[in-house]
Structure 1
Amino acid sequence: MLNDIVIPLTQWYRQNKRSLPWRDRHNAYYTWVSEIMLQQTRVEAVKPYFQRFIEELPDVEALAECPEEKLLKLWEGLGYYNRVRNMQLAAQTVMQEYLGVLPASYEALLSLKGIGSYTAGAIASIAYNIPVPAVDGNVLRVITRITENDGDILKQSVKHKIEEQLKEIMPEESPGDFNQALMELGAVVCVPNGEANCEICPVSFACKAMRHGTIDHFPVKTQKKDRKLEDRTILVIQDGEKTAIRRRPSRGLLAGLYEFPNVSGHLSKEETLEMIREMNLDPLYIEPLPDAKHIFSHIEWRMTAYRVRVSSLEDNNRANLLFVSRKQSDRQYAIPSAFSAYTRYIE
């Protein structure tokens, strides 16, 4: 059954694929960067990030040598900052062991920091024409629907079985096109939540779920645990035209990034003013800002916030805060999207 989808799906892809800045380049570096960016992020959202990243860091060597603050700033807005840190570590390994060229070997790619089976398969097949599968969420959805596989796709054993099935039908010619065809089908036709566009699917003839009316039953996923709810108070502290930020610890959530000062719990105005004074700052004015929330994979922040004007102080009396202008913030300091509801208040 799966063998029958290879030719029609590949032909459909070649005729209908979207124009994307990293496609049809046969550039392993471009494929790598785009695939890491596309994890957890929509294609349209990734395009400008990819263009900016490639302009600043056009090859493995540039990525390996990039200062951390610049690297994090280029990644700002994509989230999951450990991914770009791992990319840099992998790039440094490639410089040391592979003369700056990503290896044309699935196994060697898999050994690099931050590259798993999907990314290794994508690079190997798309850039180097190596017939190995690249199984992401879109591919899992397509294959489980075609085969009516009711295994839990969050289990590694189920993903491994689907990888093995695809290995058996992987075309020797243009395996990259076939892998991208599966991804593309899942992105624009065989979409989630039972809303698949079966009437335009090039492989509907082979799909058991469509034939039996069970599209919305697949893929099967275990229910995620409820996120931990965490209340926080965000402080937009301003001295003239500059706003206070600070660097987060080098380990843990949002490690090494910049943030507005914040504390656990929802503080009242009076509690906030008292805390400002404890920071050796002299508050002149306080106003509440709109509440906001940010969802991480395992935590949900529920944020209340205040903008506080403080009187000018000597630089050595600013409670380890860094006061920056909008221009400095935009160019230099990576503030994660968790605080995006409040970055507009940086003057």
Structure 2
Amino acid sequence: MITPPPPPAPHRRVAVLAVAAAVCLLAAGCSASGGTSDSNTGSVGAAGEAGLRVALITHAPEGDTFWDLVRRGAEAAAAKDGIELTYTGDPDAAGQAELVRDAVREKVDGIAVTLARPHAMRGPVAAAKAAGIPVVGLNSGIDSWRSGGLLEFFGQDESLAGRAVGDKLDDLGARHALCVIHERGNVALEARCAGVKKTFRGETENLYVDGTETKAVSAVLTARLRQDATIDEVVTNGAQFALTAVASVKEAGSGARVATFDLNKDLVKAVRSGAVQFAVDQQPYLQGYLAVDSLWLYRTNGNVSGGGVAPVLTGPAFVTKANVETVAKFAAGGTR
């Protein structure tokens, strides 16, 4: 039996963007800073009946459109539930850990966090638990959330997704796959490529690039394709990197095809045209939405999704030329 949570702490500050939150609920398209998504920090909310304050803390770098989708989902849930939501992100593990500690010091009512590097989050999560603050996980860390002391987890089984991609590459007749990892040490990206290698009958090779520098990604990928003409498949770990890979294949004069994990509106166009074979959609908007909404449910009704023992899976789902139109309108609206 789940012990009912303690009552939420009193609302400590006035939510400054209640109107923006309401707009986000209707349009599901603005950022936490009231309409822009340039910043990696921001707050949105409405002082609802419960008066809850929630911090969403990710390992997102600046300018990554994937995280815009996570953030929009979180904002929609916050607006619905009357939550004052603060969003922050830092790709540096120590920096992200400090953001969690900041949220603990601010005595928020709940924290949602990604576990790209689970070891770095153990101390901050323990501090949150000691302060009576529930913590849920999303996106990264499906193998570590329970041992790390989190209440719930929302995301994709990355190893399973990788194995599904390996099977699909076999069906497509690929022989030599290059799996591009844009953030070294990120457990989710490593698990994906390891999963591909487990089931793909051809050769799988990992290529590490600096995802914060698009030109560098392009240069490294183009050079590798020129070096080895046997590479006939490039698998990327983000929609924007797939589009970069398409250009690199052309520049290198390679015959390789491109497939990717993750989706955005530009990637939908590439799948529709055939420039990208397929995308694996983990539904980031849903991850952000469920993570924030779950904290509201826990604090107001003692609910725990998955019973605290099983993750809530949001993927994988394949988006191909055959079914891309079913998600195209949602992608155009900024929610897929």
TM > 0.5:
no
* Higher CA-based Rg: 1
State the TM-score bracket (shorter-chain normalisation): under 0.3
TM-score by length of 2: 0.27
TM-score by length of 1: 0.27
Higher helix share: 1
